[in-house]
């Protein structure tokens, strides 16, 4: 497919994330101010929540029972604003209205907390999704071959959701919890330091058992997350390969395979739920004990006159307010382990190196000779050498054919030319117009190279949209012209919706030959300088093959064409033919020259021309 990129990818400033916090801070850019406002309004909510019990205490102790005591400064300000103690004692309804107004103001602040938190969370989510998608789009071709699509999707959905929930809910909650605990302890100490000790003694207990569960929950969640990724991979593979499953009658096998993995996934989550159930039951038990102890001890102190009735009511209110924060602090610690695992899984993607652009600044003319000079290549997985000391030259504007068996390195050479695979410095060089492609701007290079694969990928769009996918706008004249060259125009006209015919996922509604011709038209729309046909005529009949090759010769004057095929008839009219055997150039020359050599090419020619094997590709394998 003709590849075109408007803007080179710029991953920030080439960020690498050595720690979880560095990646979280990177994603928070653009939404940080929302969460800061959330913390501020959370402080307001906490202060207002703490203020009402104090006003109720004042009402009970100093208005209803006419007690006297030194008031806190903030309560004194409110009392003075409302007319003073004597006025309030006579018109106590003013205190009731004040408490109601504070409750209303608290409600407004709570609304702002939820609104701003939701906005910040959604902006965070959008940035994470956009960044991940953009980053994955620019990861090397080899990286995608090493990672399952289902697992990548699971990381970009489930794990992203877990991170968002932690930052938007748990992390913000942690700040609010700290504020509540600090303010609650301040107010409670002001009422009764001894009762505060009974209340505060449970906080370290909650923290201790939360840390106890922290690592266990994290391990269980990691295993469950990995099983979910594996399950997603199986589902994705079966949905995209459903025709193969049906064709070979493998429905029962695939169902049992899915059920086995689903059972493992379910078992992991049951284990996680058991841990969480034990954690929350312990949390409820300790919180209940704290409330009971404070209530009983406070009643005893009140009976003995150590505190007033109003102080007792206020203290119990403050203790009740602290029950949720203390429990919440334990929950934050437990959820932190789950979020940490998800952050690590996202870090794995974000720390994968994108295709480098250092030193790639040159944009030379692309209508020049292509030269492979002593090129050797080995895949990173430690497999045998795919190409060995390959050297040849392709003249600009010529047509070159490449013949060879499976695994001989035909496609690898083209992937190296297009820089889908990176050729190491010490493994030779590939030049265009005597300029090393490693020095050419990667996106400029690919915008001038069109690549049609043997197994083309079509998107779930209309035929016109698929054919014009390399263009910013659909030009139907170009689309029809490209379809005509690819011998697809008559087929499209036979469809009731014509060029607006919707193509199913991966082009499932089209035959193999129709998909290949659509991919050829897709490339021809942009008329790139270098065109590569990687066995892209294998699924079309011989007559259509001839029509397409004739149309290409008539319309592609000036373009350099590289044809990879198992068919001699597809290659025989090329200006130059290269025969590969186990990663080496075995023969090189035009059709007549190679026939006279009486080598591999001649043997394949004789087999195919004699019809000894109906499968030309198999003939190539047999002779190679």
239-255 pLDDT, tens digit per residue, is 767 767 777 777 888 88
Residues 39 and 175 sit within 8 Å (Cβ to Cβ): yes
User: What tens digit of pLDDT does each residue of 546-560 get?
Assistant: 888 888 877 777 889
3-state secondary structure of 392: strand
- Helices 251-303 and 309-350 cross at an angle (nearest 10°) of 150
User: Would you state the structure tokens that stand for residue 329, as one six-digit string?
Assistant: 């602090």
Q: What structural domains and CATH numbers belong to the chain?
A: 22-193+203-350 (1.20.1560.10), 364-448+531-537+565-624 (3.40.50.300)
Cα separation, 65 vs 83, whole angstroms:
18
Write down the pLDDT at residue 334.
Answer: 67
80-84 long-range contacts (CB < 8 A, ≥24 apart) are none
What is the C-alpha separation between 125 and 131, in angstroms, rounded? 10
Q: Which residues of the chain register pLDDT less than 70?
A: 1-15, 54, 57-58, 60-76, 79, 82-90, 214, 240, 243, 326-331, 334, 356-360, 381-383, 504-509, 539, 611-624
Confidence (pLDDT) at 432: 93
Q: Which residues contact 50 (CB under 8 A, 6 or more apart)?
A: 183, 184, 187, 318, 321
Q: Which two tokens stand for residue 393?
A: 């030259």
Residues near 498 by Cβ (< 8 Å), separated by ≥ 6?
463, 492
Neighbour tally for 537: CB within 10 Å? 27
Q: How far apart are CA 91 and CA 80, in angstroms?
A: 14
Whole-prediction pTM: 0.68
Neighbours of 224 (CB within 10 A): 22
Contact at 8 Å (CB) between 150 and 237?
yes
Tens digit of each residue's pLDDT (9 = 90 or more) over 556-589:
778 899 998 888 888 888 899 999 988 899 999 9
Residues 6+ apart with CB under 8 A from 307: 191, 192, 195, 298, 301, 315
User: What does the block give as tokens for 474?
Assistant: 């659909």
- Say how far apart CA 20 and CA 6 lie, in whole Å: 32
Buried b (16+ CB within 10 A) or exposed e, 39-78: bebbbbbbbbbbbbbbbbbbbbbbbeeeeeeebeeeeeeb
> Cα–Cα distances in Å, from 143 out to 156, 345, 355, 380, 398?
16, 15, 10, 10, 33
Distance of CA 448 to the CA centre of its chain: 29
What CA–CA distance (Å, rounded) separates 36 from 112? 12
The predicted structure's pLDDT at residue 358? 60
**Helix 202-240 crosses helix 193-200 at what angle (to 10 degrees)?**
30
Q: Supply the pLDDT for residue 233.
A: 76
In angstroms, the CA 41 to CA 106 distance is 9
Q: Is 177 exposed, middle or buried (0-12, 13-18, 19+ CB in 10 A)?
A: buried
Helix or strand (DSSP H, E) at 612: none
Kindly state the helix (H) or strand (E) to which residue 211 belongs, with its residue range: helix 202-240
pLDDT score of 493: 84
> Which tokens in the block code for residue 101?
């107004």
């Amino acid at each position: 497919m003709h590849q075109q990129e408007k803007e080179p990818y710029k991953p920030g400033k080439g960020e690498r994330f050595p720690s979880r916090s560095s990646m979280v801070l990177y994603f928070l850019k653009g939404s940080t101010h929302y969460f800061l406002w959330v913390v501020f309004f959370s402080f307001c909510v906490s202060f207002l929540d703490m203020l009402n019990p104090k006003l109720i205490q004042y009402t009970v102790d100093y208005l209803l029972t006419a007690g006297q005591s030194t008031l806190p400064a903030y309560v004194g300000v409110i009392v003075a604003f409302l007319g003073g103690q004597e006025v309030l004692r006579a018109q106590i309804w003013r205190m009731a209205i004040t408490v109601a107004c504070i409750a209303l103001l608290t409600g407004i602040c709570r609304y702002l907390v939820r609104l701003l938190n939701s906005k910040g969370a959604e902006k965070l989510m959008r940035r994470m999704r956009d960044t991940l998608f953009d980053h994955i789009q620019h990861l090397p071709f080899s990286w995608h071959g090493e990672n399952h699509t289902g697992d990548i999707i699971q990381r970009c959905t489930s794990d992203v959701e877990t991170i968002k929930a932690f930052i938007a809910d748990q992390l913000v909650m942690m700040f609010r919890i700290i504020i509540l605990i600090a303010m609650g302890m301040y107010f409670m100490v002001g009422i009764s330091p001894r009762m505060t000790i009974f209340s505060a003694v449970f906080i370290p207990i909650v923290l201790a058992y939360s840390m106890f569960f922290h690592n266990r929950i994290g391990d269980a969640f990691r295993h469950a997350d990995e099983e979910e990724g594996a399950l997603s991979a199986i589902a994705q593979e079966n949905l995209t390969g459903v025709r193969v499953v049906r064709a070979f009658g493998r429905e029962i096998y695939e169902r049992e395979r899915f059920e086995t993995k689903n059972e493992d996934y379910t078992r992991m989550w049951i284990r996680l739920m058991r841990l969480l159930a034990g954690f929350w039951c312990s949390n409820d038990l300790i919180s209940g004990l704290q409330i009971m102890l404070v209530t009983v001890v406070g009643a005893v102190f009140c009976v003995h006159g150590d505190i007033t009735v109003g102080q007792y009511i206020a203290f119990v209110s403050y203790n009740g307010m602290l029950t949720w924060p203390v429990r919440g602090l334990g929950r934050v610690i437990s959820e932190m382990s789950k979020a940490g695992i998800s952050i690590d899984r996202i870090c794995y993607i974000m720390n994968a190196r994108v295709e480098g652009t250092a030193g790639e600044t040159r944009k030379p003319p692309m209508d020049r000779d292509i030269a492979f000079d002593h090129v050797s290549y080995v895949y990173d997985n430690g497999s045998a050498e795919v190409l060995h000391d390959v050297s040849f030259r392709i003249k600009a504007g010529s047509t070159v054919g490449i013949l060879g068996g499976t695994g001989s390195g035909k496609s690898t050479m083209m992937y190296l030319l297009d820089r889908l695979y990176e050729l190491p410095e010490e493994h030779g060089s590939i030049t265009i117009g005597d300029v090393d492609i490693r020095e050419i701007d990667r996106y400029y290079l690919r915008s001038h190279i069109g690549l049609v694969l043997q197994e083309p990928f079509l998107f779930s769009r209309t035929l016109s949209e698929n054919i014009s996918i390399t263009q910013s706008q659909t030009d139907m004249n170009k689309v029809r012209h490209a379809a005509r060259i690819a011998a697809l125009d008559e087929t499209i006209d036979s469809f009731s919706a014509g060029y607006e015919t919707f193509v199913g996922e991966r082009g499932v509604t089209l035959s193999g030959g129709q998909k290949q011709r659509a991919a050829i038209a897709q490339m021809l729309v942009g008329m790139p300088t270098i065109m590569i046909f990687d066995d892209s005529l294998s699924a079309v009949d011989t007559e259509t093959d001839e029509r397409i090759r004739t149309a290409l010769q008539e319309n592609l004057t000036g373009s350099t064409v590289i044809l990879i095929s198992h068919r001699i008839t597809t290659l025989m009219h090329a200006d130059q033919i290269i025969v590969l055997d186990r990663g080496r150039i075995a023969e090189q020359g035009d059709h007549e020259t190679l026939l006279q050599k009486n080598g591999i090419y001649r043997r394949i020619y004789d087999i195919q021309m004699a019809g000894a094997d109906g499968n030309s590709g198999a003939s190539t394998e047999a002779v190679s």
